[in-house]
Amino acid sequence: MENKQESKEMVILVDEQDCEIGAAPKLEAHCCGWLHRAFSVFLFDRQKKLLVQRRAKNKYHSGGLWANSCCSHPRPGEETFAAAHRRLREELGVDCEFKELFTFIYKAELDKGLFEHEYDHILIGCFDGPLRPDPKEVMAWQWLSLDQLKDEIKNKPEQYASWLRLSLEEVINRQQEIF
């Protein structure tokens, strides 16, 4: 179910080179499948385990699915890294430094007649402290090795968000750049 904050939220529309071409309401961009800027944060602990979160059921799409540590969209006029720091604090009650590992474009059909069409910035960080997740955003979380997560997705793909399924293989391929 969409909440009032999400219905007012704006996203940055981009071309295939990630150049800004406009802005649109978040829900409209997802209804129409317009390409927009996004980020996906992958937080690893010292044991090289990835924090995955189960999205709250009330999210406007993909509620109840497992996803990477944090994902969202920068607002118009907001830098991608600043947005990632903001959403880490809002969703998980934490913050840390991170770097961009890669970018990719994907389009996926979601539930509720919505589409993701994103120029996604994959950001990598390290974090070992306590989490304080917002229950309106996150219903569960766990730390998994990349191999464990790959096996889980292979066995139960319907339980995982499309952007995680699509980006994980490249994250695995670039492990030497992470650790």
Catalytic residues: 71, 118
- Which residues share a beta bridge with 43? 125
Q: Which two tokens stand for residue 80?
A: 């991608």
Query: Which among 12, 21, 1 has a CA at the least distance from the CA of 114?
Result: 1
The whole-angstrom separation of Cα 127 and Cα 6 is 28
Dihedral of CA 63/58/8/113: which sign? positive
